[in-house]
């Protein structure tokens, strides 16, 4: 298992009820796998997983990307700065 | 004793633009061959920040003005209290938040993209204010300078704000008399974008 850090922003933070948390994930878990895991284990976040943006170490990641150990993952909706 | 000499050859700028073989003359210390910034990146400043402080236009403009600068295109956005386009509504205030380290990296990327598209651009400033901001308050500023106004500075500044709204991780919550909601964009960045 790998330990990773999850950061939540905007709607995702409100639904998660926290700004960040640590999570143990299987070593070969992909971004899509993480979405599935969160859908299963965190009912409040299930509906958000179809349109969430996920970054790995501050870069936009594909669903197929494998999450490296100690990664900093961020989950958020499409951005709305300006 | 000569401490430096000028030469031109194929090389890559070690700083912001990362351009290959930018065609400028590189000044290197004699006998050394270290990564060097191109003339453009040495001379022309790029300023980017996420701040809770008031945006100081004069200060930013001074920072991106060089002796060769003759034009600046500035875009600034502010909190709109009354919206009539689309779903008409009143806004009490907007509350901004950012994923600060990534937002700063992506602002730097936007500046790189501007320089790649408009090589005539001299200075670039990209600033986003965050926190609780009330109507009429400036929230964002993108400014590009160049030697002349007909060199693409207007388009460069426009590109900057459009790109910020696509890839820089910042969000705003709209608070109205009737309730509050997170504003969400529409753009899904591609991997590595």
DSSP assignment of chain A equals -EEEEEEE-THHHHHHTSSEEEEEE-TT-BHHHHHHHHHHH-HHHHGGGGS-EEEETTEE--TTPBPPTT-EEEEEPSP---
Cβ atoms within 10 Å, residue B81: 14
Same domain as B19, residue B71:
no
Q: Summarize the confidence of residues B46-61 as an average pLDDT.
A: 97
Helix axes B153-167, B100-117, angle to 10 degrees: 150
Same domain as B49, residue B17:
no
A22 domain residue, yes or no: yes
> According to the model, what pLDDT value does residue B39 have?
60
> According to the model, what pLDDT value does residue B192 have?
86
Q: From CA A77, how far away is CA B184, in angstroms rounded?
A: 6
Contact B36, B14 (CB under 8 A): yes
Structure tokens at B66: 């060089």
| B12-29 pLDDT tens trace | 665 556 665 544 444 443
Given a cut of 80, whether residue B57 has pLDDT beyond it is: yes
For the domain that residue A71 is a member of, what is the CATH number? 3.10.20.30
A34 domain residue, yes or no: yes
Domain count, chain B: 2
| B65-78 pLDDT tens trace | 998 999 999 999 99
For the domain that residue B71 is a member of, what is the CATH number? 3.90.1170.40
Subunit contact B99:A9, Cβ cutoff 8 A:
yes
Higher per-residue confidence, A32 vs B5: A32
| Chain A hits for B193, Cβ within 8 Å | 60
A27 domain residue, yes or no: yes
Contact A29, A60 (CB under 8 A): no
Same domain as B21, residue B80:
no
Subunit contact A59:B96, Cβ cutoff 8 A:
no
Domain housing A13:
2-76
Domain housing B165:
44-183
Who among B172, B192, B193 is closest to A80 (CB)?
A: B172
| B28-37 pLDDT tens trace | 434 445 555 5
B142 domain residue, yes or no: yes
B193 domain residue, yes or no: no
Same domain as B136, residue B87:
yes
Min Cα separation B181/chain A (Å): 9
Cβ of residue A9 closer than 8 Å to a chain B Cβ: yes
Same domain as B88, residue B36:
no
> According to the model, what pLDDT value does residue B11 have?
61
pTM: 0.86
Q: From CA A4, how far away is CA B146, in angstroms rounded?
A: 44
Same domain as B109, residue B17:
no
Q: For chain A, which residues score pLDDT lower than 50?
A: none
| B100-138 pLDDT tens trace | 999 999 999 999 999 999 989 999 999 999 999 999 999
Subunit contact A74:B192, Cβ cutoff 8 A:
no
Residue with tokens 């960045």: B189
Same domain as B50, residue B37:
no
B145 domain residue, yes or no: yes
A82 domain residue, yes or no: no
Same domain as B177, residue B164:
yes
Given a cut of 60, whether residue B165 has pLDDT beyond it is: yes
Q: Summarize the confidence of residues B140-169 as an average pLDDT.
A: 97
Q: From CA A5, how far away is CA A72, in angstroms rounded?
A: 5
Same domain as B37, residue B48:
no
B178 domain residue, yes or no: yes
B128 domain residue, yes or no: yes
Residues 6+ apart with CB under 8 A from A34: A25, A54, A67, A73
Q: Where are the beta strands (DSSP E) in B111-161?
A: 124-129, 131-133, 138-146
Same domain as B135, residue B95:
yes
> According to the model, what pLDDT value does residue B35 have?
57
The pLDDT confidence band at residue B44, using thresholds 50, 70 and 90, is confident
Same domain as B115, residue B64:
yes
B150 domain residue, yes or no: yes
Domain count, chain A: 1
Residue with tokens 């790998």: A2
């Amino acid at each position: 298992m790998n330990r990773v850090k999850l950061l939540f922003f905007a709607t995702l933070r409100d639904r998660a009820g926290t700004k960040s948390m640590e999570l143990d994930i299987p070593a070969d878990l992909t971004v899509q796998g993480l979405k599935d895991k969160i859908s299963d284990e965190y009912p409040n976040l299930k509906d958000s997983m179809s349109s969430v943006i996920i970054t790995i170490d501050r870069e936009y990641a594909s669903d197929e990307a494998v999450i490296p150990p100690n990664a900093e993952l961020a989950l958020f909706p499409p951005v709305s700065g300006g | 004793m000569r401490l430096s000499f000028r030469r031109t050859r194929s090389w890559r700028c070690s700083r912001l633009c990362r351009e290959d073989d930018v065609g400028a003359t590189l000044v290197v210390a004699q006998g050394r061959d270290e990564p060097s910034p191109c003339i453009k990146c040495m001379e022309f400043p790029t300023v980017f920040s996420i701040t809770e402080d008031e945006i100081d236009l004069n200060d930013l403009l001074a920072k991106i003005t060089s002796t060769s600068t003759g034009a600046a295109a500035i875009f600034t956005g502010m909190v709109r209290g009354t919206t009539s386009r689309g779903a008409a509504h009143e806004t009490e205030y907007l509350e901004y938040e950012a994923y600060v380290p990534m937002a700063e990296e992506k602002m730097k990327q936007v500046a790189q993209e501007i320089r790649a598209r408009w090589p005539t651009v001299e200075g670039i400033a990209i600033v986003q204010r965050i926190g609780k901001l009330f109507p009429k308050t400036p929230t964002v500023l993108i400014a590009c300078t160049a030697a002349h106004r007909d060199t693409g500075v207007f388009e460069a500044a426009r590109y900057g704000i459009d790109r910020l709204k696509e890839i820089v991780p910042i969000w705003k919550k709209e608070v109205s008399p009737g309730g509050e909601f997170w504003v969400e964009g529409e753009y899904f960045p591609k991997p590595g974008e």
